[in-house]
Structure 1
Amino acid sequence: MKKHKKLLLLMTLILAFSSVLAACGADKNEGADNGGTDKPKEQVFRMNLASDPPTLDPGLAQDNTSNTVISSVFEGLVRKGADGTEEQGVAEKWDISEDGLKYVFTLRQDAKWSNGDPVTAKDFEYAWKRVLDPNFTPASPYAYQLYYIKNAEAYNLGDIKDANEVGVKATDDYTLEVTLENPTPYFLSLMSFQTYFPVHSSVEGNASWATKPDTLIGNGPFKVSQMTKGQKIELVKNDQYWDKDSIKLEKVKMSIVNSSATEVSSYRNDELDYAGHPTGNIPTDQLSAIKKELGDELMIKGISSTYFYVFNTTEEPFDNVNIRKAFSMAIDRKAIVEKITQGGQIPAFGFVPPGIKGESDEYRKEVPDTYFQENLEEAKKLLEQGMKEKGYTTLPEVTLIHNSDDNHKKIALAVSDMWKNNLGVNVKVQNQEWGVFLKNRTDLNYQVARSGWGADYNDPMTYIDMWTSKGGNNDTGFKNEEYDKLVKDAYATSDNAKRMELMSKAEKILVQDNQVVMPIYYYSSVSLVKPWVKNLHLDYKGDIDFTRAYIE
């Protein structure tokens, strides 16, 4: 009996120890109720947003943080594929007239809103005219992005009172006809941009519809299930989405932590599956260690985006072009990218970045890539000249604002030191919460401000037309009739070589002649991705697409 008891005890201990080993070997991504390694892994993707999205209304959004959420909750007539080309979205097909002025989109009849209502052509017509409505409050910063449509600009500016004259019309529930002012080669790619997304008719009269999960009705692969300001946003798979069988993730968890160091620490602890650009940052002082430790998980790639500062041309002392030029010439961009950002960025002396299509090659290879030079002696002369023109004996106090972020702060402090050492100018650096920062920049409540711009579509115009006197994203007060005419002429011609020439002339006015913007560098995307995350894509401008990702 004793022998049998000992044998029984030994077998019990072996089984118990085997269970412990099995538990220790389980994948960290397994759900608690999976019951073993032979069950599917939990399809949950975890990432961080450095700040709360200022809005989840497609008609008002103007930033990467908002768009990261919006592009997963809404879908346009087309969507961007993994290679950046247009794929069918809500539209199952489209026809374009020979003259390039008329587009007829046929919508799929199985497209539904997250509440089960059908997505119709009328939802698109309503959404576009809502953005263009001159009484839409607050005004959409991207209304100008719809100006390609016939009479859209005239209606938005109040020159035409009847919205029915705008060239977009739902001829039936599943057919949308769009008439353009001029042939626009990249118009189809615009259909995947958030301002062209549909909105549900229930938004009418409800200004806060996009702030609550129960009223935020979308038509994309996911829907918002939880929103806690300053803490988290959670998305769940939208079972009404027409292509739901292609969506493998059941949930997306987005923490909201405004610390790149904390974000990387959470990634190291397997609390995040993704960290870095475009919704966060990798601390530059950790890059070297990260490359050694997590080299296979680190992704660094050049993207079509520009990091720059903007001058408020309506505010002293930057209402003087020579002072603006002096400030721009007096910094060392090479030192910034080599000693501070350290992520493969390229010093910028133009505004349109590499990677954007030109006539037959990249735009940046076909036109001048340097519109000004760094020159300390010339900068000092220009500052002296500008101060004389303004009647200054000393320069007024200058404040540089940036949104709260470790890396933005490092760059701002380095730039302010360069201005002090090279020009003898003391500049105060001030960080602001993202929503407050955006509002101050939009309201021209600043002197110098940090900014960045990524392509909305693959054409130089996405960098050029934003600076027209009527551009909703022109946060500088800059107005120039010649610039406006160059953009208008570029819109009007289908001659691609002529378009590039006109846009290059406009860029020269912006960056060289008037120094409205101060380019610093062309971005690279620096991010970390866990090896178990598959089919995650970053497009040519660095936007993240997790809608077809999955956990392996």
Structure 2
Amino acid sequence: MMGKRNILKFLVLAFGLCIVAFAFGYGHNANQIDEHTIRYVLEQEPSTLDPAKSSTSPEATVQLQLFDGLVRLNDKGEPEAAVAKNWDVSDDGTEYTFHLRSHIKWSNGEPLTAHDFEYAWKRALNPDTGASAAYMLYVLKNAEDYNTGKAKASDVGVKAIDDGTLVVTLEYPTAYFLKLLASHGYYPVNKSAVEANENWGSNADTIISNGPYRLISWQHNGEMNFVKNDNYWDADEVVTKSMNWPISESQSTRLTLVEGGEADMMVEPPVADQERLEEAGLLYIGPMLGNYYYMFNVKAEPFTDPKVRKAFSMVINRHNIVKNIVKGGKKEAYAFVPFGMLESNGKDDFREVGRDLVYEDVDQAKKLIREAGYDETHPLPEITILYNTSELHKAIAEAFQAAWHDAFGADVKLQNQETKVFLANREAGKYQVARASWVADYGDAQNFLEVFSAEDNDSQYENEEYNTLIAQIRETPDGAERDALMHRAEKMIFDESLIIPLYFTTQPYVTNGSVQNYFWTVLGLVDFKKAYK
């Protein structure tokens, strides 16, 4: 018999799931969900699914189900033919001619052609678009000049010769170009949909896509519902007919949905539950080329002084935070570029060659603060840590708060915001110090180093020497020379103490085991194209 305590637990769980189901609107959608529906809990409400304007991993995860580029990454992280059936490359490696498959269609049945790719890429580069993904296309000839108003759209190195042929000209030979093509910045977009509605990427009924699935409903901050895209070029490989994705920024809510039988998979379970989940065989660790760090606004006091920035980094005990708060197979970070990307010789890991670039020393940090002019009679100003709502982000912020108070007597406040507001304020420089993370768009160290090269980077950092160095990296064909330039650029980030690296990411997730044949890309995205229950 079930004891009184177990009955009470059961009733509490059932009541909690009823509340969650009501909050996420499951009732109205229950008739569309059957035992074959893949139910994945998305960890954040997308701001947009417009490939040119999106910027977060959850957005990219949704887009991976909805779109296909010329190529698509396989489960080994290698690019495979997708919308393009094959391609030719010039002897000097700067011109690619892509041959598209015949009879490719959009999800609404309209023909998809090479002209859609040319339109999408030039739209992303158009300065009037304000695309966050524009930098990803800078390898195209004259792309950066067009994006910065120094060239015309017709100068950009992408041209549809006919409906089935796309010719791409690069600024310089780019070894990782095919991998780059699999990222969201290179997805095609439907011109009619874009021109009919500026915010076409924010509602299910205006999104026209070309991937394995199409989005049929989107209850904002509630759930998303997908069905198989019968017009997909590779539809025979898509087994699953429907997917239901609840949305919650709460780790504990996501876990409750899975353990309560209302969902099949979720990412980033609460740290407090990870040991229990591992023992139960429910916790898995997926790959992710990324990092988690704190960034300083270099134009906000007291962080205008690099000595202060360096001191605040030196008192953070990364090992203790990762071991006791973060967990999930993460590795503490003492640099910016993560492990997992090779030098040009194809053998040595970039991170191992570059070694650690920061260290911890509380006494030295206190000395730097005094040298910066702060002491008992001239205390540091009040400091606010900005982060987006999450149990994990809050716990990490509290650890930083305690470390800075203990070391410097700093008065540190915490401010959490909904993700969309948080990102907008961080981008606008409306903060002193804020959490951040970067997950690779493609598997090359350059992708991480470019974060601080743009004039509008979130740290408000402006350094022509650094920008020139990044330009050299992009244009240097010699592998060993390029490696040396990238190590030099990374060292500059820490000479300036722009960030506090905390850990290199993994993708811990929980699954009930019912979903098969999915895989995680090295970019931390889950691909359900061939998945089934």
After TM superposition, the score normalised by the length of structure 2 is: 0.91
Contact 1:43 1:248 in 2 (8 A): no
Q: 2:468 aligns to what?
A: 485
Q: 1:12 aligns to what?
A: none
Check if 1:525 corresponds to 2:507: yes
Check if 1:459 corresponds to 2:440: no
Hey, what's the Cα distance between the residues in 1 that align with 2:287 and 2:519? 14
The equivalent position to 1:503 in structure 2, one of 476, 486, 490, is 486
**1:392 to partner: Cα distance:** 9.0
Alignment length (residue pairs): 502
Code of the residue aligned with 1:170 in structure 2: it is A
Q: Is the partner of 1:226 in helix, strand or coil?
A: strand
Q: 1:197 aligns to what?
A: 187
Code of the residue aligned with 2:496 in structure 1: it is N
Q: Are residues 33 and 464 of structure 1, via their aligned partners in 2, closer, same or farther at CA, if it must alter by over 3 Å?
A: closer
Q: 1:546 aligns to what?
A: 528
Q: 2:44 aligns to what?
A: 51
Code of the residue aligned with 2:421 in structure 1: it is V
Hey, what's the Cα distance between the residues in 1 that align with 2:110 and 2:164? 14
Q: Is the partner of 1:204 in helix, strand or coil?
A: helix
**1:429 to partner: Cα distance:** 1.0
Q: 1:27 aligns to what?
A: none
**1:223 to partner: Cα distance:** 0.7
Contact 1:443 1:475 in 2 (8 A): yes
The equivalent position to 2:132 in structure 1, one of 141, 146, 149, is 141
1:355-408 C-alpha deviation (Å, 9 max, x unpaired): 12222235335522211210101111111222369x992212111111111111
Hey, what's the Cα distance between the residues in 1 that align with 2:317 and 2:235? 50
Hey, what's the Cα distance between the residues in 2 that align with 1:509 and 1:269? 49
Q: 1:443 aligns to what?
A: 428
Code of the residue aligned with 1:200 in structure 2: it is N
Hey, what's the Cα distance between the residues in 2 that align with 1:525 and 1:135? 35
Q: Are residues 168 and 291 of structure 1, via their aligned partners in 2, closer, same or farther at CA, if it must alter by over 3 Å?
A: same
The equivalent position to 2:275 in structure 1, one of 284, 288, 300, is 288
Aligned Cα root-mean-square deviation (Å): 1.9
Q: Is the partner of 1:428 in helix, strand or coil?
A: strand
Q: 1:321 aligns to what?
A: 306
Query: Structure 1 residue runs of 4+, over 4 Å off?
Result: none
Q: 2:154 aligns to what?
A: 164
Q: 2:207 aligns to what?
A: 216
Equivalent residues in 2 for 1:384-403 (5 A)?
A: 384-387=370-373, 393-403=378-388
Contact 1:403 1:434 in 2 (8 A): yes
Higher deviation after alignment, 537-546 or 55-64: 537-546
Equivalent residues in 2 for 1:177-256 (5 A)?
A: 177-202=167-192, 203-256=194-247
Q: Is the partner of 2:278 in helix, strand or coil?
A: helix
Contact 2:125 2:147 in 1 (8 A): yes
Higher deviation after alignment, 354-363 or 112-121: 354-363
In structure 2, list runs of 5 or more residues that go unmatched.
Answer: 1-29
Check if 1:332 corresponds to 2:325: no
Contact 1:307 1:520 in 2 (8 A): yes
Hey, what's the Cα distance between the residues in 2 that align with 1:392 and 1:437? 34
Q: 2:366 aligns to what?
A: 380
Contact 2:217 2:224 in 1 (8 A): yes
Code of the residue aligned with 2:48 in structure 1: it is T
**1:246 to partner: Cα distance:** 0.3
Contact 1:311 1:448 in 2 (8 A): yes
Contact 1:72 1:222 in 2 (8 A): yes
Q: Are residues 387 and 75 of structure 1, via their aligned partners in 2, closer, same or farther at CA, if it must alter by over 3 Å?
A: farther
Percent identity between the two aligned chains: 40
Q: Is the partner of 1:214 in helix, strand or coil?
A: helix
In structure 1, list runs of 5 or more residues that go unmatched.
Answer: 1-31, 35-40
The equivalent position to 2:519 in structure 1, one of 523, 537, 551, is 537
Contact 1:170 1:176 in 2 (8 A): yes
Q: Is the partner of 1:540 in helix, strand or coil?
A: coil
Q: Are residues 237 and 305 of structure 1, via their aligned partners in 2, closer, same or farther at CA, if it must alter by over 3 Å?
A: same
Code of the residue aligned with 1:258 in structure 2: it is E
Q: 2:11 aligns to what?
A: none
Hey, what's the Cα distance between the residues in 2 that align with 1:365 and 1:222? 37
Contact 1:302 1:344 in 2 (8 A): no
**1:345 to partner: Cα distance:** 1.3
Q: 2:9 aligns to what?
A: none
Contact 1:323 1:387 in 2 (8 A): no
Q: Is the partner of 1:249 in helix, strand or coil?
A: coil
Contact 1:103 1:177 in 2 (8 A): yes
Check if 1:271 corresponds to 2:262: yes
Code of the residue aligned with 2:439 in structure 1: it is G
Q: Is the partner of 2:225 in helix, strand or coil?
A: strand
**1:73 to partner: Cα distance:** 0.9
Hey, what's the Cα distance between the residues in 1 that align with 2:484 and 2:358? 18
Q: 2:113 aligns to what?
A: 120
